[in-house]
Structure 1
Amino acid sequence: MTHHTPPLRRGWTTGSCATAATKAAWLVLQGHTPPATVPITLPSGQSVTFALCQCGINNATPFAEVIKDAGDDPDVTHGALIRASVRALPAGTGVLFKAGEGVGTVTRPGLPIPPGEAAINPVPRAMICTALAEANGGTLPDVEVTLSVQNGAKLAERTLNGRLGIVGGLSILGTTGIVVPFSCAAWIDSIHRGIDVAHALGLTHIAGSTGNVSEKAVQKHYNLPETALIEMGDFVGGLLKYVRKVPFARLTIAGGIAKMTKLGQGRLDLHSKRGQADMPALAHLMAQHGASPTLVQTIENCPTVAEAFLYARKAHLPMGTIIAQSALATVQQTLTATPCCVDVQVYDRAGNMVGHAGPPYPRQHLSREF
């Protein structure tokens, strides 16, 4: 008898929960009866509805709260209480974001939000602005949004925030609004199925990406169809080992600076739980490519690859290209004699290509920061 494992249940990012809470709080500020549920629009355009656990006015300040449901993902924020409060601002101010209790503040460079700002990432900020405009007749209101997470500082101790220079609590995250459950077996199986589909369609070029930003960028770069895109996440080894069995004429590996650094250091599982990038090894690699002794020491002492990249860029050292070359060497070694033309692309968080290794490609696609 065949037993079918039920599909893993998807959940919602902290960004989605914060968006729903903010929209509800704004409606209360406008004099509406506190709603029990509120719809929001995800980056994909999909509309989803959130239930509110509390909504009203506290000390003359409208607020709303959502309990995060991460689905079947073992997320540290699953079940966390995410709160938004709003305050009207003078005309022309725009939307200002503040970190309430349990939400961190950025203190280091190299993150998508500059130092001094609340650790609310760009996509959640954009989602919140969209929701506010929806609730305000299509125009963006002037409002201060304060986000809080109950016990956020304690929960943040179980994340990498401290190492990244985010102090005081959690980050409000998300690039799609949806949490895809983290399951090694399930994810690797989905990688294999994606490769099978691409092969069955007769595609000659597929691209494996570590995340949403690099996937969109590599798709645009090569004008690839959706079926050529393999969301490998951290499981680059799962993709490469399967491509040995089901080869393609061309394979592109695309990812962020930190994950491609780990790939270049020989790691085929890029998840943070398997360890961080080896900064002394990265510093040694840069020394081999002409980095000054001062820069080498600086890179070795950096807590993140993103921060090291900023120092390298100031010194006009093409760290992105060097990382791409090292990652390509790992890919080629893993593929061994597989008849496959491979290139590696390294992207920053904004989707700009900052490194490439492999066959020639159009130079106009390069970022000025390359």
Structure 2
Amino acid sequence: MVNALREIRQLRQSVAGADDSTVLRLARMLDALPVRGEVDALLEPVRPRLAALGITRPLRLARLLFLPLDGAVVPARAWARGTPTLPRSAIPVLAAILLADPEGAAVALAAEGHSLADREVVAALGARVWHLAARVLPDAVPPDWNRTGLTAADYAPILALCRPAWQAGPVIWDAVALADQGPPEQLAERALRAVAAAGPMPLAATLATLARRASAPGALAVVAAGVSPSLRGPAVQLLETILKAPPPEFGQLDPRRAADLALATARRLDDLEACPLLAGDRQAAVRTYRRAADEACRAAFAEAAQAELAGPAARLAAAPEVTEAEVAAMEQGARRLRALESAGRRIGGAAAYDRAIRDMVAQLRGLGQSGGGPGGLTRIDVLRSIEILAGSDAAEALLQGG
């Protein structure tokens, strides 16, 4: 066991620096396992990337069961007693109890072939399994609890954290499902009030779950502070945690997904700037985060410019024969770059993007003016990519030989 855990730790370090395709392949391999156990730890370093990568996660009973507590789940090694968090090691043990119940087994069977993207299915099956969990999970410590690495005394407070969230599961899911729209303040307030009577711990766990996917965490924090004075501190702490996190890993994503992430980041920053709970030094932290995100996005754009357009254009310019498919691929690269550049400007650095585009256009114009063989890259081929990237004026300058 010691050797196995050591190997998992080594693999986890390798996964942290893996490219997108490797991360996606690993996630799909683990999702295909009926029981993941310790190997689930391999995903810990890249969990923040999974959503940005757009991977569709299969709808397993354990994942469905803990959706109302999604933001409160932490690695076992990071869990601390007396906090509104749930150690990930408890999930398989609690889910196994439900799988042994006929209704839980029926839900697991009905979930096969579906994913978290199937929101109506999640809502319907979730309502069943959340109600079941709140009703049948025992007050006594389960026999397999030792598999969690926790003490018997940890079971009762963990169950006390989970039960209110399960009882309010459908209401919480209504807000989580629309987190990309804020979530809407009315749904967020309803979800928080649904667990308020259970005390500050379930309330803080629900807030963390909503905040994990919220596109407007600042507005959510204001709603939370209005629901309960006990949430003002945790709400501000959640916002501070967001601002202390490293900037998004734009460079780890393909340009289209990086553009989507940049737009989401820009909206989130605008929301945080408008949040009245973030005043004084906290607004300075927002500006610092914006600068870091801007630098990360511009670095990703520079790398993408070489990989998506400059490199392919140079190779085609040197080739004696160029196909329509190769030219079309170059144009698609220009479109991906344009999407990333437009999104990046929402974060900041407009002048830097202007310079980068000018440099790229100058490089492409040089290739377009150099001319090629009869079957090689033509000036018109280059012109189309320039027009996509920089607009018709830049393309016209090439057409006129300027």
Q: Smaller-chain TM-score range? A: under 0.3
Whose Rg is larger? 2
Q: Larger % of helix: which?
A: 2
TM-score normalized by the length of structure 1: 0.24
TM-score normalized by the length of structure 2: 0.23
